[in-house]
Amino acid sequence: MKNLFTPITIGAIHVPNRIFMAPLTRCRADVGNVPNELNAEYYRQRASAGLIISEATSVTPRGFGYPNTPGIFTNAQIEGWKKVTSAVHAAGGRMFLQLWNVGRISHSAYQPDGGLPIAPSAIKPKGKIFTGTEMLDYETPRALETSEIPGIIAEYAHGAKAAKAAGFDGVEIHNANGYLLDQFLRDGTNHRTDLYGGSIQNRSRLTLEVTEAVVSVWGADRVGIRFSPGGVFNDMHDSNPVATFGHVLKELQAHKLAYAHITQVTAQDVAHGAAAGAGPRELRAYYPGNIVTAGGFTQESGNQAIAEGWADAIAFGVPFLSNPDLPERFRKNAPLNTPDENTFYASGPKGYTDYPAMSV
């Protein structure tokens, strides 16, 4: 019976286990959104993952919404990421870069020209944003003109090319968690009346066009894509998530991507208004390829999901954050380190590179 330790081929990559490292924003990039030596050490420590999926990384100067997050559009950023990929590869690991544009989950304070953030529609998200110095209300974003869409796609293609230059093994398109591509896909945030709004087919268009552009750079077998069908993070909702995401997944079948990364609805999500019943288990029928999933899994529940066939690999977030040697701890059923939530988005090595490996 397959489990977390059964090797698997994910597109062009053969991996020794199905314990993946989930993308985790840690807010520790340098000035200019450049990865550094500390980032390289952090990822190197976790190279025993079957696959590391990097923290979300902006493909454009206007795609940021959090302080000290990395980018992948300048030469300095490419050189910074080379330090990371070299360290991971030297330790025997494999790593995909997650391509990101936050869309409306930004603020004019983050925009290069001080303008409004972009979105499919001018719908203000609930809540507040940290600008690096203060908490402010989100602003009402500017709806993109149809003529601007090709430029958005080109930014993802450029980020994909830069990721290749930086030495990654592949890329993951961030189409989840209420960021730009997710905003286009769901009807709660997309009220457009052009070719990119209205029907499920139209709302899916940007996701599919970005995927085609990224695949043209990498080849489909080195591209993954992440979705959060039932998620409500960043004030998201959709009237029929199974129909919406089921359609996109059916369309993506033809590409034969390395994987689809579909997050599970957790109890915490439900407590914040998410509806259960729109996750990898329900969407497996629409996507026969490799499914990676994430969302509060333990070793036991991860093994069960793989054995039942609705997931092929499990991405662990906080457990990997606090246990650099997570696969070995699982193998030996060893205790896990306690994560320090106060350092999740802090600076420096504390709570980042100082979690101890298991004693021999």
Beta strands 128-130 and 135-137 are: antiparallel
Residues 6+ apart with CB under 8 A from 121: 143, 189, 190, 191, 192, 197
Q: Which residues are catalytic?
A: 179
- Give the burial string for 162-199 (b: 16+ CB within 10 Å, else e): bbbebbbbbbbbbbbbbbbbbbbbbbebbebeeebbee
With CA atoms as reference, report the closest residue to 98 among 148, 159, 154: 159
Residue with tokens 């750079």: 217
Nearest to 68 by CA among 33, 96, 35, 97: 33
Assign 156 to helix, strand or coil. helix
> Which amino acid makes up residue 49?
A
**How many whole angstroms separate alpha carbon 211 and alpha carbon 303?**
30
Half-sphere exposure of 352 (CA within 13 A, CB side): 21
